Structure 1
Amino acid sequence: MESAAAAAAAMAMVVVLGMGGAAAAVSGAGTAAGAGAGGIAPEADVSHHGHVSLWGSGLGVWVQSVNRGPSNLAGVTVRVRVSVSLSGRQELPESCLQADRLTVLCRTGALRTDEAEGRQLALELQLAGRPDEVVVRVDTLWNGGATDRNPRNNDHEVLAPATGDEYVF
């Protein structure tokens, strides 16, 4: 299981660095990108909120990612993990990739502290079979090395029964 986590982390770096191109992924007010004065990591409060919906073999995942600061972020990698295997290759937004049969990774782009709306992500995933329910986990895999003192608002687990209803996180 640990090798899968390592592979996912490596894929996240490809998503963030390969698509973003910037090796220094965090910027604070008045400091250079990366660690602030004295090598201290900048602080940012990333939060993810949204909803999931399961119908038949389709799973919709809608995520809004916001940075409450105090430092701006050049990008964040959001990880969406499901308890039921995805069915083959998924049609994903350009900013996303399928890391394995249970995981999708998406980059947000820059998350500035003054953006109330943050970044929106909408996924329509196809699951193997027609499960009665699925557990969806949404979290931050990578944030450029920033310190996040409130990770409770960016790590979520939602049980979605196959009702077609929206289950909020």
Structure 2
Amino acid sequence: MAVRRGAVRSVVVAGLLSLGAVAPGVTQAQARAGAAGSAGPEADVAYHGRVALSGTRLRVWLVTENDGPAALPNATLRVRLSGDLADRQRLAEGCARAGMREVVCETGALPPHGRGRHVGLLLEMRERAPEVLVRVDTWWNGGATDRNLANNEHVVLALDTGDAYAF
């Protein structure tokens, strides 16, 4: 599996931050202030796309956006599923498996009022199900303040029809 160094770095940083660690050069007080939303640039990360389930194959296509006002050098989006993934997955560049039901992908640079990378995933489910609940959200955003979570937290029910469901 080819994973870009930036994706792995984003995943590792996000994991460390969730455990209470801080980035180099940042004090614990600064980290607490950032968690309270009073530090970091203000950005508005958004995801738009669609999902389709056919048999055991789940397709996820999305585009990352930043409605501004500040640019972000990178962020990490997370895709969580209601069912288990098969053991072996071929993931898109910049993506990594984060658990039995989770995949994370780096967004790349997000310019203000612009688009980041397009992400396309073809995920193989462990077993066939009549439906899969797909949750898309931001796992790590580099400490940015995002006052509009409505456009980066999505829940989509994909039925095993092959039809695409938009978010």
Fold similarity call, TM over 0.5:
yes
Identify if the C-alpha distance between structure 1 residues 11 and 74 changes in structure 2 by more than 3 Å, giving closer, same or farther: closer
CA offset at residue 85 of structure 1?
0.3
| Percent pairwise identity | 50
Equivalent residue in structure 2 for 1:139, among 137, 140, 165 = 137
Q: Aligned Cα RMSD in Å?
A: 2.3
| Number of residue-to-residue matches in the alignment | 141
Task: Look up the match of 1:79.
Answer: 78
1:114 deviates by: 4.4
Q: Whole-Å Cα distance in 1 between the matches of residues 156 and 14 of structure 2? A: 25
Corresponding position: 1:168 with 2:163: no
C-alpha separation between the residues in 1 aligned to 2:80 and 2:40?
A: 28
Q: Distance in 2 between matches of 1:136 and 1:64?
A: 16
Q: What residue is the counterpart of 1:55 in the other structure?
A: 54
What stretches of structure 1 of length at least 5 have no aligned partner?
1-9, 18-22, 25-34
What does the per-residue CA deviation read over 1:114-163, in whole Å, with 9 as the maximum and x for residues that have no partner?
A: 43x43210000000111100000000010000000001100000001000
User: Matched residues in 1 for 2:153 and 2:126: separation?
Assistant: 25
CA contact 2:69–2:113 (8 Å) conserved in 1: no
Superposed, which structure 2 residues align to 1:121-160 within 5 Å?
A: 121-160=119-158
CA distance in 1: counterparts of 2:131 and 2:98, whole angstroms: 22
1:12–1:141: 8 Å Cα contact kept in structure 2?
Answer: no
Gaps of 5+ in 2: 1-7, 16-22, 25-33
**Separation in structure 2 between the aligned mates of residue 85 and residue 63 of structure 1, nearest angstrom:** 21
CA distance in 2, matches of 1:80, 1:70: 25
CA distance in 1, matches of 2:101, 2:40: 31
TM score, norm. by length of structure 2: 0.78
Paired letter, 1:84: G
8 Å contact 2:11–2:104 — kept in the other structure?
no
SS at 1:73 equivalent:
coil
Structure 1 Cα separation of the partners of residues 13 and 127 of structure 2: 29
Question: What is the alpha-carbon distance in structure 2 between the residues aligned to residue 96 and residue 46 of structure 1?
Answer: 18
Distance between the aligned counterparts of 2:13 and 2:163, measured in 1? 31
| Maintained 8 Å contact 1:16/1:107 | no
Distance 1:52 1:129 in 2: 17
SS of equivalent residue, structure 1 residue 70 = coil
> What secondary structure sits across from 1:72 in the alignment?
coil
Distance 1:15 1:164 in 2: 36
In the other structure, the counterpart of 2:91 is 92
Q: Which position in structure 2 is the counterpart of 1:101? A: 100
